[in-house]
Copies of this chain bind each other. A is one copy, B any other.
Amino acid sequence: MASHEDHQSRDSPKVLLFKPPPSMNLIGEQPFTSTKFQYLKAYESPLPLDQFLATHAKSIQAILSSGSVPVNTEILRQLPNVRVVVTTSAGLNQIDLPECRRRGVIVANSGDVYSADVADAAVGLLISVLRKITVAGRYVKQGFWAARGDYPLGSKLGGKRVGIVGLGNIGSLVAKRLEAFGCQISYNSRNKKPSVSYPFYPEVRELAANSDAIIVCCGLTDQTYHMIDKEVLAALGKNGVIVNIGRGPIIDEKEMVRLLVQGELGGAGLDVFENEPDVPKELFALDNVVMTPHNAVFTPESMHDVAKHVVGNLEAFFANRPLLSPYMDD
């Protein structure tokens, strides 16, 4: 066995791993392994990163990245033989995509393996905010029910106008779920989708003005950075609810916090934040804010799915087959 491993280790293509992605931390390395390639683990080396990269630059053909592992110009320059970057994340904001394009490096994200889980989490956050499930639960667990009586009313889902910001895989699944609750769906995206019958708003501020809740489902790009700004949040208004399962910086967090604290925004369900894992402390005391620690994608099922997907993408690359989920500019 040892000699077989030595043989494999010598010959199989090398995939650089700066640090284990969260999914690998959560379910272990085994589901990410393959007989067709081998990970070079920068985090297990005693060498400083630059030296590690210099030592292995020649053999590294691929990088496995995750949401918190940037792949920037500097890195790409040090690794001229890299031809593919595969991520365990759906978002690619940590990757310098123009630089990859310039260098002919192809990029593959997690495809839609997380989409259903993220959509479920978005709906869970919305119900939890509207129906006060989290805060009413605390009320019960603190023993207040018997002493203080009925808990203040939540708000009905049925009939609520829900605006989806970004109607891709995830946004479409959120819409499908909320239709079953009797919500009225409309959406904003870069372009109107010809196959979709939901009302389309070309301006996100207009979407917010015509919605009881908006759900941020898009990716983070230069165009979507702080797209949900003071004006959009003001248009959503003091009874409006914002849910974010996209990326923190899509919302101007400082403005959102200010409006929530001042009661000028109705509530928020947040899985993502501008400076994770730091969360604005002003939100801790607000009963109309439900937060989860960027774990909308984290189920054992999706972790195993993404491992399979990563291995599939890398094996496809090394076998000169098309990737499972190549990133395409559009």
Choice from B25, B117, B145, B291 contacting A150 with Cβ under 8 Å:
B25
Q: How many A residues are at the interface, by size bracket? A: 35 or more
Chain B positions within 8 Å of A279 at CB level: 140, 143, 145-146
In the complex, A298 Cα to B149 Cα: how many Å? Answer: 13
In the complex, A136 Cα to B298 Cα: how many Å? Answer: 12
Q: Is the CB of A290 within 8 A of B177?
A: no
- What is the chain B residue whose CB lies nearest that of A136? B292
Chain A residues 283 to 304 lying within 8 A of chain B, measured CB to CB, are 283-284, 290-293, 295, 298-303
Q: Is the CB of B134 within 8 A of A128?
A: yes
Check if A312 is an interface residue, CB within 8 A of chain B.
no
Chain B positions within 8 Å of A121 at CB level: 127, 131, 133
Footprint of B on A, CB under 8 Å?
22, 25-26, 116-117, 120-121, 123-125, 127-128, 131-134, 136-143, 145-146, 149-151, 153-159, 176-177, 179-182, 276-279, 281, 283-284, 290-293, 295, 298-303
A-B contact sample (19 more), CB < 8 A, given A133-B292, A136-B293: A25-B150, A26-B150, A120-B131, A121-B127, A124-B128, A125-B133, A127-B127, A131-B299, A137-B290, A140-B279, A140-B291, A141-B284, A145-B277, A150-B293, A151-B292, A153-B295, A153-B303, A158-B301, A177-B180
